[in-house]
A and B are shown apart, each in its own frame.
Chain A
Amino acid sequence: MTTASTIKGAVNTDLRHDSATKHVSGRAEYTDDIPEPAGTLHAYLGVSNVAHATLNGVYLEAVRSAAGVVGVLTAADIPGVNDVSPTGRHDEPVFPTEKIEFHGQPLFAVVADTRDNARRAAELAKVDCDVLPHALDPIAAQDAGYPHITDNLTLARGDAAGAMPKAQHRIAGRMEIGGQDHMYLEGHIAFAIPGEDDDVIVHCSTQHPSEAQHMVAHVLGVPSNAVVVNVRRMGGGFGGKESQMNLFCAVAAMAAKKWNVPVKIRPDRDQDMTATGKRHDFVVDYEVGFDNDGRIEAVKGDFAARCGWSSDLSGPVTDRALFHADNAYFYPNVKLVSQPMKTNTVSNTAFRGFGGPQGVVAAERMIEEIAYALGKDPLEVRKANFYGGKGRDLTPYHQEVEDNILDRLIGELEQNSDYQARRKAIIAHNAKGGIIRKGIALTPVKFGISFTATWYNQAGALVHVYNDGSIHLNHGGTEMGQGLNTKVAQVVADAFQVDFDTIKITKTTTEKVPNTSATAASSGSDLNGMAALNACDQIRERLIAFAVENWGVAADQVAFLPNQVQVGDQVFAFGDFIKQAYMARVQLSAAGFYKTPKIHWDRAAGKGRPFYYFAYGAACSEVSIDTLTGEYRVDRTDILHDVGRSLNPILDKGQVEGAFIQGMGWLTTEELWWDDKGALRTHAPSTYKIPLASDRPRIFNVDLADWSENRELTIKRSKAVGEPPFMLGIAVLEALSMAVASVADYKECPRLDAPATPERVLMAVERLQGD
């Protein structure tokens, strides 16, 4: 046996994704790759082609008689409740019965022998409906008197109304912020296999197996214990699979039970993009009061969001927009109001950052306004407004910012990126008045970590140590590429001091860990890592007690060494030790549990500590724009990001890089465009343009703030990484804005809305030149 001084795959070390070899060889199994038992049928959704209408009837004779069709499923076929609302608001029928609420809304499902036949048959329905006027965006919805789709939120502190008129300067403006499609490479899919009694097993691509389980049970009218949901891995999630798979799972399960055969449903990319929710578009009306130094005195913000036809997660999403409308800045007097507007569009949902990025973008717009009004570098304005100093650490939701590291982090990035000298050079370049203009921006992010739905901050894990010393790990988190399974397995390896490959990573299943939360809100490692550690600790305690009793040593004489266990003077190989524990009838399995401490939130009062801690980061981006066409390139980006004490620096760096590019895409080329009939016309990669390899910055330096350590007792003092770096992409928008501003000598804030497509950039240039 080896007696290495450290284990392979310890925490805080670089370790490749556990499935990397399978990924590159095409052997990683996704839901659509699972072998189909003989007789498997395929379902497909039939959808509406109007945005808003009274539904009189759906005529399916032609569908039923189409080639290969076995049957159809309509609202009338739902054995349980016709609802898949994730928040229990009961406003999201699987299939509507009275009204069509958006273009592309699923109206029925058809089940056929092949997916191709089901797809073709789904086109043959006749829909009888009376078309109603529609409202597609939040302003049109407000104008039409549409309701809030869910209760709105107000955050207030100080006296914004009183302080605003007293400020030396005041600026009011509006910013439109576009939504974003997740464009996970693997679309939605569910594959249901019926069992005896009420049982059904659903393999699917979801971030939230427990919710899928509960929803399937709800729709089937059976207890949750009849339903098993399994997820080995997803081909990307990004929030798009937090609630949006409910419908697909329900349809597959219904069909599987009705015909007693396995049924798979997989929409094509266009249906995936038109029938499932996206990031919320926002229109933000802001007013900011500030002094001659650029210090903010008061902020008022009204955040109207395109929520779509049902509430889905729009309540917590629009809440989070307000939670982050301060970004990293102290607002002495503030009033923020959300307007979660019902619209006749697909119901918008979770997407990396969960409303937070829209809040942060609005905050940064206000910083820009101040900077251009005062003729200052926006970075100077940012620094003047960071949290910190006496009486300047309270957020608009009355949580104290206790862990701010931005002064150091921004200082280091400013230096390492040579920000000041480059900004000077850029201003000199622009002063020559050429066609190609440049811009640079250094923007911070502070992001609150925890689900604001406090009860979501719990997790479970199940760890078995088999009597040969091998370990089986299961936890409630799901793997969507972020490397969660790798990180949690590192925690387990560390706990038992065994090599990483001793641990078998298994699919997430509701059979092993119940009542889990979505793998979302960046919480995967924080929650599941701690739950797994708790399970390991229970087993370790039993093993130590066994050693104490068996060998008559004190507990402190038992030590878990790399792949060995020391008991007094004796050293056993881990497997041999475990075998002896088994023979002595020690329980070698444990269910772990964790709930995040300290957090509480009173939504009605708008006060509390919704976040356990904050994660920080900053990016500096330089861009060039073509003032004849609006085309642009990102010349360079430098990032310094805080992940606390990283569980796995290389995986965390991958998250930071990927999130930045995704955030950049959101703010640049990713544009959702609806036609006047309410149809989304950018519904596949041919029309919806996410960044390519050639869009990434020409120079791209990404570093983790390796000196940072979470001041809270998180798993190994690490910090969450999934969402916070998404907002680093804002540096690109701000840099584009500066390049545009150069055409009017930086005297006017360009008010560049997002996404800043080449068209928006050119039109902003034209607008500023015209003045």
Chain B
Amino acid sequence: MAVRHEIRFMLNDRDVSVSDLGASNTLLDFLRLDQRLTGTKEGCAEGDCGACTVLVGRLHDGELRYEAVNACIRFLASVDGCHVVTVEHLRGADGGLHPVQQAMVDEHGSQCGFCTPGFVMSLYALWMQVPEPTELQVETALQGNLCRCTGYSPIIRAAHAISRHGTPASDFLMQERKAVTTKLAAFDDGARVEVGPDDNRAIIPASVADLADVLTVTPDATIVAGATDVGLWVTKFLRPIGPAVFIGLIDGLKRIETKADGIHLGAGVSYSEAEETLTKAFPHLADYWSRIAGWQVRNMGTIGGNIANGSPIGDTPPVLIALDASIILRCGDSQRVVPLADFFVDYGKQDREAGDFVEAIHIPTSTEDWRHAAYKISKRRDEDISSVAAGFAVKVDNNVITEARLAFGGMAATPKRAAAAEAALVGLAFDATSFETAAKALAKDFSPLTDWRASADYRLKVAQNLLKRFWLEQSGSAEAVRLSA
């Protein structure tokens, strides 16, 4: 295996190669401290405010795609082979302000200005994809950007005004696409990358097989996919993560396949990349999916990572457990399939041995006799961690419930099925009374915690009420039973 000891990427209009870095170096510090590109701001260093938003362009099967990401928790090593675009690079056709910037100025979208470069970058990423966005699309794109001054209205107006100042077709990045694509393709030399001192080593495997080899040799390495959690280990907890294996750039883990038996997602597939396929197959996930974190984090974070880190409050496990998903764990050349519900053993403990890595997630095809729902309850509607998350799947045969999977997050030390409530449901009629019975049984399943997100009482009450909501929605209540976006 050829090994390269530097990373290479494009930063705005120039090529950069860096060899003096380790696993824990962040893109934001590189931009601000090394490059003095100070337009990108640090607001929180945890991916929750968006002041550090930059674009990262990357080749997906040869096609160049730009995504808005949080530079604060993006590790520098993980931009190998990418094109990083910061606010300093933006320009209009005449060399003046870019259409996004002009719209923000015209609509008075900045007050203190500190969050502004981040908003500009998020709006820019949206505009490249959707030049005439709906209000909902704008709000969704801005879920990861906090503004404390304006109250957002002028920024929303700016988002709608951008296209008055130009079209994506005449945008400078679009015009440079070919050249950038060629350059990024040339960066890809098929080598493994290893940089940094031993205790802070960053390893970027060249392929899935190479990853398996790396983990066989270094089984205790920190596996970093989207870094939306591991990033905080560094920026918040100052934890060493080396040696760290960066898997977010491995094409072999990015596959999304829809087959007769269901959907296969590579462990490196981001929330954003999975969205179209998943919500098409499972429409009940659409609203839920757009409420996972903010846009930048959905662009970086992976479903594999959300599962593998074993958090009791990850958003995807409850809904995937309800869908009867399983994961493929790989160690060296051997693979084993674990039902997702069984993967979570206890708080901080998963059914994963040293050297194992999550290679893929399999979600079986559902049939029409299954009724599904996915609910997320949080203090703030968007970009918040669930106080309670729920995935429900109930099989109904001749108006009798024959199977039930009720999975919850935020209710226990792990994402967990409600065994008592499920047992209570099975065999009962598909009616309101049955769900009331199940709601009562739920108290036997869970003794949730009180913390800053919610009290134990609230969590249990809401979990029970979600069963009521599920019934009301399934029974086709004429009145709305939940608030729409």
Interface of A toward B, CB cutoff 8 Å: 16-17, 19-30, 32-33, 35, 119-120, 123, 182-187, 233-238, 268-270, 432, 434-436, 480-483, 624, 626, 628-633, 650-651, 654, 657-662, 669, 671, 673, 681-682, 684-687, 689-696, 700, 702, 757-759, 762-763, 766
Taking a contact as CB atoms closer than 8 A, the residue among A26, A119, A702 that contacts B39 in the complex is A26
A to B CB contacts below 8 Å, 26 in the list: A20-B104, A20-B108, A23-B110, A24-B101, A24-B109, A25-B90, A26-B37, A30-B41, A183-B148, A236-B112, A237-B112, A270-B236, A629-B465, A654-B154, A661-B151, A662-B151, A671-B379, A684-B44, A686-B48, A687-B453, A690-B148, A692-B139, A692-B382, A695-B380, A758-B377, A763-B458
Does A657 lie within 8 Å of B381, measured CB to CB? no
Does A183 lie within 8 Å of B483, measured CB to CB? no
CB 8 Å contact bits of B95-119 with A (1 = contact, 0 = none): 0010011001110111111111100
| Distance between Cα atoms of A21 and B108 in the complex (Å) | 10
Taking a contact as CB atoms closer than 8 A, the residue among B86, B142, B455 that contacts A759 in the complex is B455
Whether A268 touches B151, Cβ cut-off 8 Å, given contacts A23-B113, A669-B379, A682-B452, is no
Whether A692 touches B452, Cβ cut-off 8 Å, given contacts A21-B105, A185-B112, A436-B480, is no
| Distance between Cα atoms of A758 and B454 in the complex (Å) | 9
By a CB distance below 8 angstroms, the chain A residues around B480 are 434-436
| Distance between Cα atoms of A654 and B108 in the complex (Å) | 8
CB 8 Å contact bits of B49-66 with A (1 = contact, 0 = none): 101000000000000000
| Distance between Cα atoms of A629 and B465 in the complex (Å) | 7
B485 to chain A: closest residue by CB: A694
Interface of B toward A, CB cutoff 8 Å: 32, 36-46, 48-49, 51, 86-88, 90, 97, 100-101, 104-106, 108-117, 120, 138-140, 142-143, 145-156, 235-236, 238, 377-385, 387, 451-455, 457-458, 461-462, 465-466, 468-469, 472, 479-483, 485
By a CB distance below 8 angstroms, the chain A residues around B97 are 21, 24-25
| Distance between Cα atoms of A766 and B461 in the complex (Å) | 10
Does B384 lie within 8 Å of A689, measured CB to CB? yes
| Distance between Cα atoms of A269 and B114 in the complex (Å) | 14
Does B108 lie within 8 Å of A762, measured CB to CB? no
A435 to chain B: closest residue by CB: B481
- Of B32, B108, B235, B380, the most chain A CB neighbours within 10 A belong to B380
6 shortest interchain CB distances as A-B pairs: A26-B39, A235-B114, A481-B112, A23-B113, A661-B151, A481-B111
Taking a contact as CB atoms closer than 8 A, the residue among B139, B154, B466, B472 that contacts A694 in the complex is B139
Taking a contact as CB atoms closer than 8 A, the residue among B87, B108, B457 that contacts A25 in the complex is B87
By a CB distance below 8 angstroms, the chain B residues around A182 are 148
> Shortest distance in angstroms between B118's beta carbon and chain A's nearest beta carbon?
9
Does A695 lie within 8 Å of B381, measured CB to CB? yes
| Distance between Cα atoms of A671 and B116 in the complex (Å) | 25
By a CB distance below 8 angstroms, the chain A residues around B48 are 684-686
> Shortest distance in angstroms between B36's beta carbon and chain A's nearest beta carbon?
7
Whether A629 touches B150, Cβ cut-off 8 Å, given contacts A32-B38, A270-B236, A694-B381, is no
By a CB distance below 8 angstroms, the chain A residues around B44 are 269, 684-686
By a CB distance below 8 angstroms, the chain B residues around A659 are 151
Does A186 lie within 8 Å of B43, measured CB to CB? yes
- Of A32, A480, A631, A673, the most chain B CB neighbours within 10 A belong to A631
By a CB distance below 8 angstroms, the chain A residues around B378 are 758
Taking a contact as CB atoms closer than 8 A, the residue among B145, B236, B238, B452 that contacts A123 in the complex is B238
| Distance between Cα atoms of A434 and B482 in the complex (Å) | 10
| Distance between Cα atoms of A37 and B479 in the complex (Å) | 65
By a CB distance below 8 angstroms, the chain B residues around A233 are 112-113
Assuming A30-B114, A481-B113, what are 7 further A-B pairs, CB within 8 angstroms? Answer: A23-B104, A24-B116, A119-B238, A185-B115, A671-B452, A692-B142, A694-B140
By a CB distance below 8 angstroms, the chain A residues around B40 are 26
B38 to chain A: closest residue by CB: A33
| Distance between Cα atoms of A453 and B482 in the complex (Å) | 49
| Distance between Cα atoms of A175 and B105 in the complex (Å) | 42
By a CB distance below 8 angstroms, the chain A residues around B461 are 762, 766
By a CB distance below 8 angstroms, the chain A residues around B465 are 628-629
Whether A681 touches B452, Cβ cut-off 8 Å, given contacts A629-B466, A689-B379, A692-B380, is yes
> Shortest distance in angstroms between A113's beta carbon and chain B's nearest beta carbon?
12
A235 to chain B: closest residue by CB: B114
A664 to chain B: closest residue by CB: B151
Does B481 lie within 8 Å of A694, measured CB to CB? no
> Shortest distance in angstroms between B163's beta carbon and chain A's nearest beta carbon?
17
| Distance between Cα atoms of A434 and B483 in the complex (Å) | 12
Whether A480 touches B112, Cβ cut-off 8 Å, given contacts A25-B39, A269-B44, A692-B143, is yes
Does B458 lie within 8 Å of A186, measured CB to CB? no
> Shortest distance in angstroms between A74's beta carbon and chain B's nearest beta carbon?
22
> Shortest distance in angstroms between A119's beta carbon and chain B's nearest beta carbon?
7
Does A628 lie within 8 Å of B452, measured CB to CB? no
Whether A631 touches B152, Cβ cut-off 8 Å, given contacts A20-B105, A693-B138, A693-B142, is no
> Shortest distance in angstroms between B291's beta carbon and chain A's nearest beta carbon?
10
| Distance between Cα atoms of A631 and B377 in the complex (Å) | 8
| Distance between Cα atoms of A481 and B104 in the complex (Å) | 15
Whether A24 touches B110, Cβ cut-off 8 Å, given contacts A685-B48, A759-B455, A759-B458, is yes
| Distance between Cα atoms of A182 and B105 in the complex (Å) | 25
Does A436 lie within 8 Å of B479, measured CB to CB? yes
Does B148 lie within 8 Å of A25, measured CB to CB? no
Does B112 lie within 8 Å of A757, measured CB to CB? no
| Distance between Cα atoms of A108 and B236 in the complex (Å) | 20
| Distance between Cα atoms of A500 and B346 in the complex (Å) | 65
A628 to chain B: closest residue by CB: B465
By a CB distance below 8 angstroms, the chain A residues around B454 are 759
Taking a contact as CB atoms closer than 8 A, the residue among B49, B101, B142 that contacts A685 in the complex is B49
Does B101 lie within 8 Å of A673, measured CB to CB? no
> Shortest distance in angstroms between A687's beta carbon and chain B's nearest beta carbon?
6
By a CB distance below 8 angstroms, the chain B residues around A185 are 41, 43, 49, 51, 112, 114-115, 146-148
Taking a contact as CB atoms closer than 8 A, the residue among B105, B148, B377 that contacts A662 in the complex is B148
Does B112 lie within 8 Å of A24, measured CB to CB? no
By a CB distance below 8 angstroms, the chain B residues around A687 are 385, 452-453
By a CB distance below 8 angstroms, the chain B residues around A696 are 151-153
| Distance between Cα atoms of A237 and B112 in the complex (Å) | 9
By a CB distance below 8 angstroms, the chain B residues around A28 are 113
| Distance between Cα atoms of A632 and B379 in the complex (Å) | 10
Does B458 lie within 8 Å of A120, measured CB to CB? no
| Distance between Cα atoms of A32 and B28 in the complex (Å) | 13
| Distance between Cα atoms of A78 and B110 in the complex (Å) | 40
B101 to chain A: closest residue by CB: A24
B155 to chain A: closest residue by CB: A693
> Shortest distance in angstroms between A768's beta carbon and chain B's nearest beta carbon?
14
A624 to chain B: closest residue by CB: B483
By a CB distance below 8 angstroms, the chain A residues around B466 are 628-629
Taking a contact as CB atoms closer than 8 A, the residue among B32, B149, B385 that contacts A686 in the complex is B385
| Distance between Cα atoms of A571 and B150 in the complex (Å) | 43
| Distance between Cα atoms of A381 and B145 in the complex (Å) | 40
> Shortest distance in angstroms between B282's beta carbon and chain A's nearest beta carbon?
22
By a CB distance below 8 angstroms, the chain B residues around A662 are 148, 151
Whether A17 touches B108, Cβ cut-off 8 Å, given contacts A183-B148, A436-B480, A693-B138, is yes
| Distance between Cα atoms of A630 and B380 in the complex (Å) | 11
Does B110 lie within 8 Å of A25, measured CB to CB? no
> Shortest distance in angstroms between B137's beta carbon and chain A's nearest beta carbon?
11
Does B380 lie within 8 Å of A629, measured CB to CB? no
> Shortest distance in angstroms between B465's beta carbon and chain A's nearest beta carbon?
4
- Of B51, B145, B483, the most chain A CB neighbours within 10 A belong to B483
> Shortest distance in angstroms between A358's beta carbon and chain B's nearest beta carbon?
20
Taking a contact as CB atoms closer than 8 A, the residue among A434, A658, A682 that contacts B150 in the complex is A658
By a CB distance below 8 angstroms, the chain B residues around A632 are 483
By a CB distance below 8 angstroms, the chain A residues around B49 are 185, 685
| Distance between Cα atoms of A233 and B116 in the complex (Å) | 14
